[in-house]
Each structure stands twice: as structure tokens, then as C-alpha cells.
Amino acid sequence: MTNEEYIKQGGMNCPNCSPEMADVDYDGGAKADNTTAMQSMYCMECDSTWDVDYKIVGFSNLRVGD
């Protein structure tokens, strides 16, 4: 699977397994650095691991406490 195919599928499938596979889990928390973030992923079907790269574009739903 290419990066383009992975993105088109929504980034929730294992890039090693069949595109229909969605038996993936997050491996720890996301790590952010300036304008990017990275999330480690794990496929429970084929034992593959990979990192998902995110671009930070802003924030939403800010609620200020009392």
C-alpha cells in the first residue's frame, strides 16, 4: 500500500495487510513536535508496526475553566 492509498483509506488500516483489514491498535500516546505529530500503530492481524504522521492544523472545542 502506498502513502496515498493509506491516506485515501482514512489511515486506520494496516499498510501491510489487505486494505479491508482494520484490526489495528494505537501503541502508546501521540507525540507532537511543533507542527507535526506521530502515532505508533500495531496490527493485531500480521504483527506489523508503523508510525502515522500527522500535520497539526489547529485546535477546536476549547472550553475555558472557571
DSSP SS3 for 5: helix
pLDDT-derived band at 60 (thresholds 50, 70, 90) equals very high
Would the pTM of this model clear 0.85, i.e. be above it?
Answer: no
Length of the chain: 66
Residue 66 lies in a domain: no
For the stretch 32-55, pLDDT in tens is 888 899 999 888 888 899 998 988
Range of the domain at 21: 3-55
Total domain count, the chain: 1
Chain-centroid distance, C-alpha 32: 13
Residue 39 lies in a domain: yes
